Structure 1
């Protein structure tokens, strides 16, 4: 069972999160609440929660500061941010700082539970990997390649902070043949997977094959050790390389020759595996600087967003920057709102205007942010657009979202391709919204009105009147889109609200009947029993 801590400066929010969700049924133990980040840190020191749900804005220490403090203290916990529409910029920063995900206010129980369940699933996967690695360490002699892979991955990701002497001892124990004082990191980003990678298993095999090809090609230049990265958003493969005795000439000449030689890997990837790749190469460092070199190689490779795929990008050829670069968070705080409004209009020029603003901002960001920060920030921004579009359609699947996910979120593109493809994807969402429109929008508005007024004893005629529609037409449209009559939908809505109150409140049954729109208590009880198979009182007693 996983442990949960709720952090919010508003007592009613904390109590709502604590009481309205059956955490035990989700395999979660609620270990307590905290009013702000400082109190949360004290609880974290003693209770070590696995999941933290926290507001982003709080007095004394807010959600961002809490995440930063957890990073400095190396506390492992999944942090879910609660964010209002006006806090999107902060939410994006929180994701950059390491937050797991964020949920918009007002908090929808189903949305929060979806995020929490993903979180629990990832925790289970982490624990499974931890158990596997623990078992692997006991068989290190029989599985030395796996031990090397794990060590290299942890080294690249900066998760090993041992002194140089300890690192060198582990390096020798794993029989690594590379020179630990002369290491270059090369990263490979796969942009287009071709036709062979239909499953994740296929992609893992392609990463492994690409690593073998890289090691074979780089033998001409020195020693290499490939490290496939199956769960990294920035790259698919890293290769550690140390140059051999051929490099007796000038160092710059050697670097240029090696960089040019890596074009052979780009060509081989296309010829033998059918994939399009870009390569980033770091400057030279030692064991202690491997994580820094990895980040540098990622930065170099991220230039492919600006300058095109299928090329080799060498950090040694890039200018050194003296001032600290800014993180990329998008054009401005209102850009997403303007874009969503333009999509709702389904007007080409209205959509193209914010897209062009984004493109111009991305071009200017090349001199203000690192290429890697631009790539990561753009990914978060586009994910946020998708969430905003889904939030704009709370009672139905967001129109065109599958196309947006497939063509934008789930693939790589250059800046030029983004300019061409983003307007089309956004307009597809807009056109589907209008095209399914009139019927789906009628249903959506009808459901929204029902959720707002179900406690007032409304009928289908009230909804139709609110929408300025003929009742029989509304009934036909609703049944056609939803698959059930409006009367059944409204009854189900009221019964769900009644069940919630029976579980979470001390109201008498007749009071609950009134709360959900039934003036006749006997009619409410009869309807409840027909749907649930028991009386409201029995339902409460059983605590279902």
Structure 2
């Protein structure tokens, strides 16, 4: 559950953030604001479910902020921490639906309990709204089957432009007026055999997928045009940018909305979900392309893990053709293309077994082998690689498939080929990932003298912070926040050793509060800034 702290008194604001064990109770402090206008910016960008706020603040008082916040997000819960025992304030707070009205100086325990109580109310409301039984009933009643089937065929590339317009008009699907479009594909992360608290069982999986779609329709924001499910049951959301909205702003909006959706799924459905985000394109004729990009991004869960929102990164490979109808051979193609080596291996065994069972003929098994080997070869060329560089010493077998005398030999060759393709794909992906991390490191070096955060970096790169956090730790080996402190403390020590004053040093590494800087420096190096400065004389 995400919490925003709004307090104009700096020391109290920092104390509220650092002295109460929020994380221990499942609360994440996503921002600190000094006034109401600054708080509204945090609410727009991070969408916290909880706000702890003061009444008397410059520019906009706490009650005005609470009213404005509810207009942005009706589900948000506010807790007032005020120094004014004023009945008028308290009555107005009740009218605005404020969860609790605390008087300063309230104890940390009282503040924590008030926030946890508001969090419980949020969870209860989510559970009530997305009750499984209610969703199961709405499954049959509120999903227009023909419209969903039309959208599924559209994203698979079935229709031409003329047929799209005709069929869309017949099904009463209005065309949005927009300069740019983008697609998100969101899905439940995993299905286990019997099911656990974090991994749903196979029997629960279809209902959870439907529930996720229903939640998405309510929570993805005003820029979403259509929300439906694809052939696998994943949620597909098509976003349209109004005139004047830059494509990068559209992508940032989608990332924020997708993060909120996955947070809601975790709270309500008691399981995790992930999202893949496409690039942008002009015109709905590119919808099939955008869907493939988003689907490819979602498949990157195999690299980055689950409970994450992943942006599309073009590796420079040629665009693939339209997605084919679902079949066993196409599932094999999709598994190889996205780097799912284990799944592809299972399908290879199944396809070869089917060929042998149907004919009991070595010739027919070889024909199936040619088809599967040809699929891998085509995927290699579509990536812009050569078969020889990927297949290595197995390349020659392409020209001499008759050397594979048994189904076991054929299976071994195909499995090696699939594994080499997936390994090569992983290597290429790593190169793209490193570029993103290099951009992050460059921003840190450039902005080291400012109060920079992971969220600032994410906004500059037009990517959500959850993805960057996991990506950075995976590549650098430590969290972004730890790396940033390391860089700041190393630079601070160097400046002090060069004779820089403590106050100036704090400012040059991005800390306006000298006392806080000194405590952090002492905790990091075991000595005070003054001791380091004195030792350099």
- TM-score normalised to structure 2 length: 0.32
